[in-house]
């Protein structure tokens, strides 16, 4: 049975004048990179099923927005092969880059073996001239044409053809413009849009000019291109190629640490993009950590505050918090870089437990530095670390809390630079640590998007909320929403005994620009630049700074920062326990205290990062409430 050609032809626009140019990003290869590009909302993503290219796609397409059309690129493939790929990958479009005839296109369109209707894009290569008469035979069997540069390769040659050739374009069929288009061509594109040749230009197709290596796209440069293409004046909230979030970030490190940090900087994105790394990372998150963590609708809490509250249950992960998402990623990274010894710092003990856990799993030596005060108030986690085989070393200097534990870990790293990897637990430290930690934790917001789509019919909540010390759980919760202006971002920090009490960790209010632990950020300090000792009842928020991404979010106003006192946090933790049967970590309790300070609308969807469970804090709760 053949399909009616008239019914299967896609309803493509016939006049492009004055309309927004669509964008296709081609040559996608690595899952993590695909997700990052998809977050920029291109109209098409191209996956090349041609084995002779280094961009050959041979893995799974991760879940991306339905608004993005998945396009399979083929070169002289058999119809059976194309049909197989369309059905397997649920492709929305097929791009034919070889010598496919009009008859071939007709048969492909009409075959009943396709599980879904597809758009057909036929490619033609141009150098200095082109015989447009060949197009007429394709007009009724293709949805679009794509004009690319004629070169040695079927595509991806990396240079542009003479676009003025298209002044003689005789058809009304909309077309894609391709061939060596990069950031430098923005002005050329704007001039082209004003020319006769652009009348039926439907989309821009980009590929090699945005790559750090074949198949791996540079997100920062691609975002800049998209913003300029559509004349958007938007802020970039991700790290740039120099390791900065706006004016915050960088790598301010002693010379002895430079080789270690530089080795990591040069390799972290490449390693994370490797299919074997992704496969092992995803498998461990699923089978060992227990991901995806549930997105739970808190019915009684929602009823009390007259809004729709969802809890992202990171407390149900193995080890009881979000921290293990990052430690698994970093220990796999360390193995690939040839490291045999792991060090870490910890405040509340959750990162220490997560690090000790993965070191036990991988059979690696583990040393965890922890402030003497934190060792006393987080005794259960100290015992867990020791049982897992880790050596817990107390930090005895300064305030004897998280800041000082980090100092000791850095000293260790300086003394053991060759065989040691430092697993930083928060989105802090010299570049690339803040970005690397954020990417490993981004699984949180990645899951929220599809889980919320299942429960609410939409990917974007009205607000995402997380407690924030250094900011790893917050970074992961915010990551896929940073450039979604309709999603409010709320960061909840520790006010301790009160912002003006002298016993606080409210960095957004009390901090100013400074350098701590290898990066420029907002930092609590005296007029002379000496670090002010922070205070919070929660060991995990007891830090004088904040990650550089969060400093940027605060400075630009993208995130709303709220400061919550010890007493409000403790009351919120007790309330959640009694209303929902969930005992949260005291760090997490700070986030839940916002409902007494901020009013939400009845139909607002508010997603809370429940970053950790309260087992470690039971004695603190018992002592505070005299239970």
Does 323 qualify as catalytic in the annotation? yes
Among 129, 581, 565, CA closest to 315: 581
| Active-site choice (345, 447, 459, 580) | 345
Find the helix or strand (DSSP H, E) in which 159 lies: none
Q: Shortest CA distance to 106 belongs to which of 153, 141, 82? A: 141
Place of tokens 């630049």: 529
Compute the distance between CA of residue 96 and CA of residue 138 in angstroms, rounded to an integer.
12
Which of these is catalytic: 35, 122, 611, 616?
Answer: 611
Given strand 605-610, what is the order of strands in its sheet?
295-297, 308-313, 605-610, 463-467, 488-496, 559-565
Distance separating alpha carbons of residues 280 and 184, to the nearest angstrom: 38
| Contact call for residues 155 and 98 (beta carbons, < 8 A) | no
Output the CA–CA distances (angstroms, integers) from residue 534 to 493, 501, 540, 549, 589, in the order listed: 12, 11, 11, 20, 18
Which residue among 122, 323, 449, 520 is the active-site one?
323
220 is catalytic: no
What does the alpha-carbon distance between residue 150 and residue 140 come to, in Å, rounded to a whole number? 25
Q: Please, what's the largest Cα pairwise distance for the chain?
A: 87
What sign has the CA pseudo-torsion 529, 535, 536, 541?
A: positive
How many Cβ atoms from other residues are within 10 Å of residue 608's Cβ?
Answer: 29
- Residue 171 contacts residue 132 (beta carbons within 8 Å): yes
Tell whether omega for the bond before 292 is within 30 degrees of 0, i.e. cis: yes
Q: Cα–Cα distance between 124 and 150 in angstroms, integer?
A: 8
Cis peptide before 418 (omega within 30 of 0): no
Task: Give 393's strand partners.
Answer: 369
Assess whether 125 carries a catalytic annotation.
no
Q: What is the 3-state secondary structure (H, E, C) of 91-125?
A: CCEEEECCCCCHHHHHHHHHCCCCCCCCEEEEEEE
Q: Which residues are catalytic?
A: 323, 345, 611
């Amino acid at each position: 049975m053949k399909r009616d050609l008239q019914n299967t032809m896609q309803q493509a626009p016939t006049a492009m004048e004055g309309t927004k140019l669509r964008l296709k990003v081609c040559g996608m290869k690595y899952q993590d990179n695909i997700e990052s590009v998809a977050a920029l909302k291109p109209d098409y993503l191209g996956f090349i099923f041609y084995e002779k290219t280094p961009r050959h796609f041979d893995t799974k397409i991760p879940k991306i927005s339905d608004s993005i059309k998945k396009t399979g690129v083929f070169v002289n493939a058999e119809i059976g092969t194309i049909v197989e790929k369309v059905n397997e990958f649920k492709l929305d479009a097929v791009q034919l880059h070889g010598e496919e005839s009009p008859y071939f296109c007709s048969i492909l369109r009409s075959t009943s073996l396709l599980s879904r209707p597809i758009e057909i894009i036929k490619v033609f290569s141009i150098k200095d001239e082109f015989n447009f008469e060949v197009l007429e035979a394709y007009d009724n069997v293709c949805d679009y044409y794509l004009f690319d540069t004629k070169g040695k390769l079927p595509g991806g040659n990396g240079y542009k053809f003479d676009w003025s050739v298209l002044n003689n374009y005789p058809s009304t069929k909309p077309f894609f413009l391709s061939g060596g288009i990069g950031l430098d061509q923005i002005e050329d594109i704007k001039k082209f849009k004003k020319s006769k040749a652009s009348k039926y230009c439907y989309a821009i197709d980009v590929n090699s000019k945005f790559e750090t290596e074949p198949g791996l796209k540079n997100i920062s440069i691609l975002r800049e291109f998209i913003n300029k293409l559509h004349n958007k004046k938007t802020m970039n909230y991700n790290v740039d190629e120099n390791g900065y979030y706006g004016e915050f970030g960088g790598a301010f490190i002693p010379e002895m640490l430079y080789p270690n940090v530089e080795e990591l900087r040069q390799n972290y994105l490449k390693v994370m993009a490797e299919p074997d790394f992704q496969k092992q990372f995803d498998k461990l998150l699923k089978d060992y950590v227990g991901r995806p963590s549930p997105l739970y609708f808190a019915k009684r809490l929602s009823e009390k505050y007259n809004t729709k509250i969802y809890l992202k249950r990171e407390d149900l992960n193995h080890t009881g918090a979000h921290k293990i998402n990052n430690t698994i990623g970093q220990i796999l990274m360390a193995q690939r870089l040839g490291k045999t010894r792991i060090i870490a710092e910890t405040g509340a003990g959750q990162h220490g437990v997560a690090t000790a856990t993965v070191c036990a799993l991988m059979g690696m030596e583990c040393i965890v530095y922890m402030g003497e005060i934190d060792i006393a108030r987080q005794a259960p986690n100290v015992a867990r670390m020791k049982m897992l085989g880790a050596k817990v070393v107390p930090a005895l200097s300064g305030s004897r809390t998280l800041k000082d534990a980090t100092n000791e870990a850095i000293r260790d790293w300086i003394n053991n630079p060759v065989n040691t990897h430092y697993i930083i637990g928060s989105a802090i430290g010299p570049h690339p640590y803040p970005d690397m930690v954020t990417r490993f934790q981004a699984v949180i917001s990645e899951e929220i998007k599809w889980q919320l789509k299942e429960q609410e019919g939409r990917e974007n909540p009205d607000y995402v909320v997380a407690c924030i010390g250094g900011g790893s759980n917050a970074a992961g919760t915010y990551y896929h929403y940073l450039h979604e202006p309709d999603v409010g971002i709320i960061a909840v920090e520790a006010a301790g005994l009160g912002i003006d009490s002298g016993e606080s960790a409210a960095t957004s209010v009390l901090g100013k620009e400074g350098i701590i632990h290898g990066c420029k950020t907002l930092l609590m300090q005296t007029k002379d630049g000496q670090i002010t000792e922070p205070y919070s009842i929660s060991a995990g928020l007891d830090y004088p700074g904040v990650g550089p991404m969060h400093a940027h979010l605060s400075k630009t106003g993208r995130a709303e920062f709220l400061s919550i006192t010890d007493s409000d946090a403790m009351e919120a933790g007790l309330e959640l326990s009694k209303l929902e049967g969930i005992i949260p970590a005291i760090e997490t309790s700070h986030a839940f205290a916002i409902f007494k300070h901020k009013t939400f609308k009845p139909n607002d969807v508010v997603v809370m990062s429940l970053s950790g469970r309260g087992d470690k804090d039971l004695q603190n709760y018992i002592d505070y409430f005299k239970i």
